[in-house]
Amino acid sequence: MTIAGTCLGFDAGEKRLGVAVGQTVTGTARALEVLPCRRGEPDWSRLASLIDEWRPAALVVGIPRHADGRPSHSTRLAEGFAGNLARRTGLSVHRIDEHLSSRAAESALRERGAGTEVLDAESARIILETWLSERLT
């Protein structure tokens, strides 16, 4: 299946949801914002506004696992978010392994001298760029 256009990527957590936006044409993404979550639930109205604004062709959710591949509490949280996102938006939601995206995001922010308040959005950027690069190969 070919997807063309804008995509939104997400790093779902219990306290925060990182959001990134990217383009299939360039295969690049940028951190967009961090939304607060309450008991693992994001601000769905703000999320709906972002989807209305960007009109993505696809949504991408990072799914974390333990290093040995076993699911964790975070895995269940991200899977739940992905399912809710698909039901609420009616859009295609793609899942991708986000193994080590937070460490890569910390490293990228440190290199740029940026603060950790955007860590989750930076993780979402890495998740989305990884997914986009897999589509280009």
| pLDDT value of residue 98 | 82
Which among 34, 52, 43 has a CA at the least distance from the CA of 123? 34
pLDDT at 45 over 90: yes
User: How confident is residue 118, by pLDDT bands cut at 50, 70 and 90?
Assistant: confident
List strand residue ranges (DSSP E) for 64-131, in order.
Answer: 93-97
Pairwise pLDDT comparison (114 vs 69), residue with the higher score: 69
Task: Give tens-digit pLDDT for 55-71.
Answer: 999 999 999 887 788 88
Per-residue confidence at 74, pLDDT binned at 50, 70, 90?
confident
Cross-strand bridge partners of residue 93: 59
Report, in angstroms and rounded to the nearest whole number, the Rg of the chain calculated over CA atoms. 14
Q: Which domains does the chain have, with CATH numbers?
A: 6-136 (3.30.420.140)
d(CA 35, CA 15): 9
Q: Say what the pTM is.
A: 0.87
| DSSP structure class, residue 49 | H
Please count the other Cβ atoms lying within 10 Å of the Cβ belonging to residue 39. Answer: 6
Q: Output the six-digit token pair for 82.
A: 């992905």
